[in-house]
Chain A
Amino acid sequence: MAEPIILADHVSFSYEEGGPLAVQDVSLAVEKGSFQAILGQNGSGKSTLAKLINGLYVPTEGHVTVCGMDTQSEENTWEIRRRAGMVFQNPDNQLVATVVREDVAFGLENIGVPTEEMPGRIEKALRDVGMLPFADRAPHLLSGGQKQRVAIAGVLAMQPEAIIFDESTAMLDPQGRREVLSAVKRLNREQGITVLWITHFMEEAAECDRAHVMHQGRIVLSGTPREIFSDVKKIKPYHLDAPPMARLSQALRQQGMPIRQGVMTVEEMAEEVARLCR
Chain B
Amino acid sequence: MALNDITLGQYYPADSVVHRLDPRVKIVLLIVLIVAIFVAGNLLAYAPVIAFLALVTYLSKVPVKMMVKGIKPLRFILILTFVLNLFFLQGETPLLNLGFAVITKEALITAVHYSLRLVLLVMISSLLTLTTPPIVLTDGLERLLSPLRVIHFPAHEMAMMMSIALRFIPTLLEEADKIMKAQTARGADFESGNLIARAKAMVPLLVPLFVSAFRRAGDLAMAMEARCYHGGEGRTRLRVLKCERRDYIACAAVAALLALVILCGKVY
Which residue numbers of A lie inside 8 Å of B, CB to CB?
Answer: 51, 54, 56, 78, 81-82, 85-86, 88, 90, 92-99, 101-102, 105-115, 118-119, 122, 138-140, 154-155, 158
Which residues of B, 142-183, contact A by the 8 Å Cβ criterion? 163-164, 166-167, 170-171, 174
Instruction: Sort chain B's interface into a size bin.
Output: 20 to 34
Decide if B223 touches A98 in the complex (CB within 8 Å).
no
Residue B75, interface by CB 8 Å: no
Decide if B216 touches A92 in the complex (CB within 8 Å).
yes
Decide if B222 touches A107 in the complex (CB within 8 Å).
no
Which residues on A sit within 8 Å (CB–CB) of B166?
A: 98
A78-B228, A92-B216 given as contacts; is B223 within 8 A of A112 (CB)? no
* Pairs A-B, 7 closest by C-beta atoms: A94-B223, A93-B219, A105-B238, A110-B228, A107-B227, A86-B226, A140-B170
User: What is the CB-to-nearest-CB distance from B216 to chain A, in angstroms, rounded to a whole number?
Assistant: 5
Which residues of B, 215-248, contact A by the 8 Å Cβ criterion? 216, 219-220, 222-230, 234-240
CA separation between A105 and B223, bound complex, in Å? 14
A56-B226, A85-B226, A93-B220 given as contacts; is B167 within 8 A of A110 (CB)? no
Which residues on A sit within 8 Å (CB–CB) of B71?
A: none
A88-B219, A114-B236 given as contacts; is B224 within 8 A of A82 (CB)? no
CA separation between A154 and B223, bound complex, in Å? 11
Residue B135, interface by CB 8 Å: yes
CA separation between A121 and B79, bound complex, in Å? 56
User: What is the CB-to-nearest-CB distance from A169 to chain B, in angstroms, rounded to a whole number?
Assistant: 16
- B182-221: CB near A (< 8 Å → 1, else 0) gives 0000000000000000000000000000000000100110
Residue of B nearest to A157 (CB): B227
A-B pairs with beta carbons under 8 Å apart, 22 shown: A56-B222, A56-B226, A78-B230, A86-B223, A86-B226, A93-B219, A94-B219, A95-B167, A96-B227, A97-B167, A98-B134, A109-B236, A109-B237, A109-B238, A110-B235, A112-B235, A115-B238, A119-B238, A140-B170, A140-B171, A154-B227, A158-B228
Which residues on A sit within 8 Å (CB–CB) of B227?
A: 81, 85, 96, 106-107, 110, 154-155, 158
